[in-house]
Amino acid sequence: MNKRSLLLTYGLVFLVTALWGMNLVIIKILVEDLPPHTMTAFRIMLAGVTAFSVVLLGKNFRPLTRKEWIYILLGMVFGVVLHQSFIALGLTMVGASNASLILALVPLTTAILSVLYLGEKLTPLRTIGFILALAGVFFIQGGSVRHLGFSLGELIIFLAMFVQAASFILIKKVTVTVDSKLVTALMSLTGSISLLIISFVVEPQGLNQMTQAPPFTYFLLFFSGIVISGGGHLIFNASIQKIGAAQTAVFNNFVPFFGLVSSAVFLNETITSSQSLGFVFIVTGVLFGTGYIEKQQEKRIQKKENGQPAGAAKNP
């Protein structure tokens, strides 16, 4: 990949993660006006239709092998059904600011799973990163040993974080042979159908309640489904295919930042000093834990080694 294409990929992923941070606030508003499971099913269905339209227009559809379908269905279960259900349910119990901070652990968890399942190395600096991120979690929950522990809502968001990280590993495996746009479309469509079936069981009156919200709520629903979830996952999964799961997940650092800002601006949530300190620890831990710091050091060393012979030739 050339430098221009790489910078474009980075820029698009940055935009996506900024929108995802804002999306936590949007979902928080949606679950107050709409039944969470039914709303999530329709929101993801909008994302799936958007992604599948792009696949059809680009003529990227092809039959899949049994192994590819297994990876896609597993990715759907973890990254769509479980992740989206946990997010919607968790946000009925906790604020968007706390949720965004817990979700900041996605890159770190992805890195750990990459070590376990993709053969990446566990180095001392990565270990330091894991410890720093755990310290960040400690400060998120209040920074007190006496009150150490997650509330039920925070635990549900934590599970949402973990299953999303697991889905990134599955996406990395399947996008070796399948176009990322097709993966996104199939995961979203099959996931939304599964979520809709679940909503019929847990929210029998969900469809009726979906018609009782203010007009602006429906605008947010369509914007979240089509632009943020549909378009965002197309871009993000394409980035996983191009630059890898761990490196793409580093950009999730921006999700909690924009989540905190959006929750303060739009929901008037108070950002505590303990949360801010936890954010700093988590971001620092992610930079170390994902191998980002090591890669930057290696690049500097390579530049110095490559620069020395050139310099010697010019100044004998």
- Residue 75's H or E segment, with its range, is helix 66-76
Q: Give the pLDDT confidence score for residue 128 in this predicted structure.
A: 82
Q: Say if 315 falls within a structural domain.
A: no
pTM over 0.75: no
Instruction: With H, G, I as helix, E, B as strand and everything else as coil, classify residue 153.
Output: helix
d(CA 86, CA 269): 21
Q: Give the pLDDT confidence score for residue 233 in this predicted structure.
A: 78
* Per-residue DSSP letter, 80: I
Q: How far is CA 53 from the centre of its chain?
A: 22
Side chain identity at 202, as an amino acid letter?
Answer: V
Q: Say if 186 falls within a structural domain.
A: yes
Give the pair of three-digit tokens for residue 177. Answer: 């042979």
Q: Say if 29 falls within a structural domain.
A: yes
* Structural domain span for residue 259: 3-309
- In order of 3, 117, 182, 302, the CA distances from 175 in angstroms are 22, 16, 9, 30
Burial category of 286 from C-beta neighbours within 10 Å (exposed 0-12, middle 13-18, buried 19 and up): buried
Phi, psi of 201 (to 5 degrees): -85, -50
Q: Give the pLDDT confidence score for residue 311 in this predicted structure.
A: 44
Evaluated on CA atoms 41, 45, 98, 128, the torsion sign reads positive
Please, which residues have CB within 8 angstroms of residue 23's CB and are 6 or more apart in sequence?
224, 228, 229, 232
Give the pair of three-digit tokens for residue 52. Answer: 């599948």
Tens-level pLDDT at each residue, the chain (316 residues): 667 777 788 888 888 888 988 998 899 899 999 999 999 999 999 999 998 998 898 887 889 999 999 999 999 999 999 999 999 899 889 888 778 778 877 877 887 888 888 777 777 887 787 788 777 767 765 655 455 556 888 899 999 999 999 998 898 889 889 988 898 899 999 999 999 999 999 999 999 999 989 999 999 999 999 999 888 878 887 787 777 766 676 676 677 778 878 888 888 888 778 778 877 887 787 778 767 777 777 878 887 877 655 444 444 3
Give the pair of three-digit tokens for residue 222. Answer: 């369509």
Where on the phi/psi map is residue 122: left (φ > 0), alpha (ψ -120 to 50), or beta? beta
- Cβ count near 271 (within 10 Å): 16
Domains in the chain, number: 1
d(CA 54, CA 212): 31
d(CA 35, CA 45): 15
Q: Give the pLDDT confidence score for residue 119 in this predicted structure.
A: 75
Q: Say if 316 falls within a structural domain.
A: no
Best CA proximity match to 165, nearest among 211, 133, 189? 133
Q: Say if 314 falls within a structural domain.
A: no
Give the pair of three-digit tokens for residue 280. Answer: 């700093």
